[in-house]
Structure 1
Amino acid sequence: MGYREGLKLALSSGYTSVMVETDSEAVVKVFSQDPANSLLMDTLIVDCNFLIRQLQDFKLQHVLREDNQCADFLANQGQSSPWGTTILETPPVDLANLLDHDAKDVSFRRIR
């Protein structure tokens, strides 16, 4: 649902070129398939494919969670938020350090 809401927000904001980075290999796999040949015709997937077709340029790629700590932070915040879409006018205070690292292209080691 977050994927669909992000696409809707991008389109309603006037964006025509969108790059989505996700740590979910399953999402990348589902949306890398030809929708016409997919057995996965879930309404959510159909909605997302409809929104993607409205964009002039779209790219979806897998990234490790460590390479997108800002998104991981916000996803974890969303787990304890009320149901629905939340638009943040300013980033949460706890996110500032991660945004700074992201802007400086600081990399983090993956721990297994």
Structure 2
Amino acid sequence: MNHSSGRASASICDHGGRWLHGFAINIGPQSSFMAELWGCRTGLQLASDLRISHLVLKMDSLLAAQMIQARKAGDGLASVLLSDIFHLLNSFKVCTVQHTLREGNSATDFMASIGQNLTQGTTFFPNPPVGIGSILHGDSIGTLFLMT
């Protein structure tokens, strides 16, 4: 998720860091919290559509991760997104929600950089974008990268 632009993104990988699918979203001017919720909802829907049964959801927004873990409703549009997220969580046998530092989830930042030039809406990436392979591998083994 890009913290300044209202753009959200994610990649879905298997336990070995191999690409399954990804997306980037431009939701217009929104807070980083709202972009995180939009990205979470879209990622959960995509994972459900892919019939993934066991999921680890890594989020770099501590507040969003805590609200989802506690099943705590928000206000306004956040409450609608959280309600959708709570409903989607039921489609998985196991779904673990984890807070992660941005530096440990470089694939999401890579996807967000791709999303910088997207028009409003969602773009799906069934194939991995060029250049993400080594980033996915680094994320899967826990490599931290300094973010600029």
TM-score in terms of structure 1 length: 0.79
Distance in structure 2 (CA, Å) of the matches to 1:7 and 1:34? 15
Q: Secondary structure at the match of 1:81?
A: coil
TM-superposed deviation, 1:11: 0.9
Over aligned residues, Cα RMSD in angstroms? 2.3
Residue 100 and residue 111 in structure 1: after superposition, are their counterparts in 2 closer, same or farther (change >3 A)?
closer
Amino acid at match of 2:63: A
Measure the CA separation in 1 of the matches of 2:98 and 2:60. 9
Say which structure is richer in strand: 2
What stretches of structure 1 of length at least 5 have no aligned partner? Answer: none
Aligned to 1:3: 40
- The answer as to 2:91 corresponding to 1:49 is no
TM-superposed CA distance for 1:93, in Å, is: 1.7
Indicate the structure with greater helix content.
Answer: 1
Question: How many residues are matched?
Answer: 108
Distance 1:34 1:91, change over 3 A: closer
* 5+ long unaligned stretches in structure 2: 1-37
Residues 39-97 of structure 1: CA distance to partner in whole angstroms, max 9, x if unpaired?
Answer: x2611110110111222111110111111111111123223312222221322223233
> Which of 78, 98, 102 is equivalent to 2:135?
98
Aligned to 1:108: 144
- Over the matched positions of the two proteins, sequence identity in percent amounts to 28
TM-score, length of structure 2 as denominator length: 0.62
**Matches of 1:109 and 1:99 in 2, distance apart?**
12
Aligned letter for 1:64? L
